[in-house]
Amino acid sequence: MKDSRLVVGLMTGTSLDGVDAALVEIVGSGLFTRAKLLHFISVPFEPVVREELFKVASGKLISSQTISQLNFLLGILYSEVVFKLCQVAGTDFHDVELIGSHGQTIFHQSEPSLFCGRKIASTLQIGEAAFLAERTGVTTVSDFRPRDMSAGGKGAPLIPYVDYVLFRDPRLGRVLLNVGGIANIPSIPAAAEMHQVKAFDTGPGNMVIDALVRHFTAGEKKFDYRGQVAQSGTVLPAVLNRLLAKDYFSQEPPKSAGREQFGELFVQEFLDDQSSHRFEDLVCTATELTARSIANAIEDFVIPGAHMNQLAVSGGGAQNEFLLERLRALLPQLEVLNCDDLGIPVEAKEAVGFAILANETFNLNAGNLPSATGARHPVVLGKVTYGDNYRSLRGIHPS
């Protein structure tokens, strides 16, 4: 590609598993961004690091020393992941122009609560960008979420902006379903303006399914591989209908869900009532709950406002074949695709996203989508830490 720029995107998810890193070739910026994934790796954290992260992220009592040390340690580990990524990609890391690092979320509260007499919502990502900038020499954008929240947004989701930039289509309306623990649907009408993009959480993604699988296998299995357990079960209609009657599903978007609605308490309720049922049937019912709540949300809240042609699925749930089958059956009017079919592999999507958001910041473009985050207006996201390559960077000229 001509005038392209090599950008590394780094993502560490709330699962605390490790660091996802994408080497991306980007041309242009804003609505004219084109991106090509050159290489992707996922590097697990060492158990001792994961343990500290878990302590900090799970609300346990710690000292500020632990957060401070962990912030610096993660920055060092991130820089090593960049070296590894460049090595396996056969790219000299000096050729990378920019890094976008999401960091590890150790706290996120999008609804304000009273703190020292003020209503405060907040988010905190760690992984000191100074080490990325120093060790790789590459100017780094980090800490994307606070800037959106400072403008009244929820700091999430940020990926719908990337979806809009990469996947909007002049003729096709697209729902870009992301099935993580929670299921989220950015929807992009054909030839949409940015403010026409909607995004909200439909409810549980894999969260309930995974919890049931972990429970019944005593932790041996962590998820329903390809949906095989669900496939072998039968839906329990009484259970399903009772769960689908929960208020969340009928609430008008924008809305966001989390462990508060569909975490342990929800699963416990499920288990307590249904102890006489077979494991397969419970998993099948949980999968059907995910499928129906997504399908209903699309039919109730998306399609009435804009014609949709495709449903492109990403996230862990994109591997659940039974879930995809159920979505196809429930939404016959949509072509159900795997996100891979749009050119970005499912597992790399978020890391690619933060490479693109870094490129936006670097070009002084806003990177949040107020219609998705609820922010009052678009803002240039993140914080810029200069690596030694600032001397040769295109796009920034000191006075």
Where does this chain bind a second copy (CB under 8 A)? 46, 48-49, 52, 56-57, 59-65, 67-73, 75-76, 106-107, 109, 115-118, 120-124, 128-131, 133-135, 142-143, 146-147, 149-151, 361, 363-365, 379-380, 382-386, 390-391, 394-399
Comparing CA positions, the residue from 155, 153, 144, 159 lying closest to residue 382 is 144
Of 34 and 307, which CB lies nearer to a second copy in the complex structure?
A: 34
Cα separation, 212 vs 242, whole angstroms = 18
Residue 38: Cβ-neighbour burial (10 angstroms; 0-12, 13-18, 19+)? middle
State which H helix or E strand residue 330 sits in: helix 321-330
Could you tell me the smallest distance in angstroms from the CB atom of residue 133 to a second copy?
7
Contact 43, 18 (CB under 8 A): yes
Q: Of 176 and 375, which CB lies nearer to a second copy in the complex structure?
A: 375
> Which is it for strands 118-126 and 96-115: parallel, antiparallel or unpaired?
antiparallel
Name the residue with tokens 């001397």.
391
Q: CB count, 10 Å around CB of 209? A: 31
Q: How far is the CB of 4 from a second copy (least distance, A)?
A: 13
Tokens at residue 356, please? 């693109």
Compare residues 129 and 351 and give the one whose CB is closer to a second copy.
129
- The whole-angstrom separation of Cα 385 and Cα 328 is 45
Cis peptide, bond prior to residue 157, ω within 30 of zero = yes
Q: Least distance to a second copy from the beta carbon of 156, Å? A: 14
Q: Is the CB of 38 or the CB of 393 nearer to a second copy? A: 393
> Closest distance between a second copy and the C-beta of residue 348, in Å?
26
The least distance separating a second copy from the CB of residue 167, rounded to whole angstroms, comes to 24
- How many angstroms separate the CA atoms of 213 and 217, rounded? 6
For a second copy, which is the closer residue by CB, 53 or 212? 53
Residue with tokens 């080490």: 131
Could you tell me the smallest distance in angstroms from the CB atom of residue 397 to a second copy? Answer: 5
Question: Quick one: 62 or 238, whose CB is closer to a second copy?
Answer: 62
Which two structure tokens, joined as six digits, stand for 55?
């302590």
Smallest gap from residue 385 Cβ to a second copy (A): 5
Structure tokens that stand for 154 in this block:
């929820």
Query: How many Cβ atoms from other residues are within 10 Å of residue 250's Cβ?
Result: 12
3-state secondary structure 276-304: CCCHHHHHHHHHHHHHHHHHHHHHHHHCC
Which residue number, 206 or 365, has a Cβ lying nearer to a second copy?
365
Q: Which is nearer to a second copy, 84 or 215 (CB)?
A: 84
User: Minimum CB separation from a second copy for residue 45, in Å?
Assistant: 9
Q: Which residue carries 């960049």 as its tokens?
A: 82
Q: Which is nearer to a second copy, 343 or 395 (CB)?
A: 395
Q: How far is the CB of 138 from a second copy (least distance, A)?
A: 13
Provide the token pair at 388.
Answer: 């030694």
